[in-house]
């Protein structure tokens, strides 16, 4: 996602937002401190770090408070929740080609 943020697409066809995120590889007890240090705000979406197409790789969790953060199981990615009204635009970039798909 950082590559998309660095492209400054917001000047092209409207606003492109990239949620703040944090990768947690191990040690669930350190998650609340890491979230505070990274400046992330609750609620957070927790996504598995592995994206291998399995059912497990599509499981998401929402953490609404500090207590919920302690129940998460690394490795995972934490992203700030952004209310997008159910509409997402997926941006695919391969070389010089950029494709945007509405979902």
Q: pLDDT digit string (tens) for 9-38?
A: 665 566 667 788 999 998 888 999 999 999
Does residue 14 lie within any of the structural domains? no
Q: Is residue 26, in this structure, part of any structural domain at all?
A: yes
In the predicted model, what is the mean pLDDT of the chain?
Answer: 83
- The CATH number of the domain holding residue 93 is 3.30.470.20
Which of 14, 43, 31 has its CA nearest to residue 74? 31
43 part of a folded domain:
yes
Please give the backbone phi and psi of residue 30, each rounded to the nearest 5 degrees, phi first.
-90, 0
What's the confidence (pLDDT) of residue 42? 93
Helices (H) and strands (E) in the chain, counts: 4, 6
Flag whether pLDDT at 1 surpasses 80: no
In a domain, 31, yes or no: yes
- Evaluate whether residue 67 is within a structural domain: yes
- Specify if 10 maps to a domain: no
Range of the domain at 25: 19-102
Residue 11 lies in a domain: no
Angle made by CA atoms 50, 81, 5, in degrees to the nearest 5: 75
The answer to whether residue 6 is domain-embedded is: no
Q: According to the model, what pLDDT value does residue 91 have?
A: 77
pLDDT of residue 56: 75
Mean pLDDT of all residues in 40-67: 86
- Give residue-wise pLDDT tens across range 76-95: 999 999 887 878 777 788 88
Total tally of structural domains belonging to the chain: 1
Of the ranges 7-11, 59-63, 66-70, 92-96, which one carries the lowest mean pLDDT score? Answer: 7-11
């Amino acid at each position: 996602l950082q590559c998309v943020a660095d492209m400054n697409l917001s000047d092209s066809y409207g606003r492109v937002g990239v949620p703040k995120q944090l990768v947690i590889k191990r040690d669930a007890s350190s998650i609340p401190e890491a979230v505070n240090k990274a400046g992330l705000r609750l609620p957070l979406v927790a996504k598995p770090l592995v994206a291998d197409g399995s059912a497990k790789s599509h499981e998401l969790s929402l953490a609404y408070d500090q207590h919920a953060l302690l129940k998460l199981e690394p490795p995972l990615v934490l992203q700030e929740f952004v209310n997008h009204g159910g509409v997402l635009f997926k941006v695919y970039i391969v070389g010089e080609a950029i494709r945007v798909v509405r979902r």
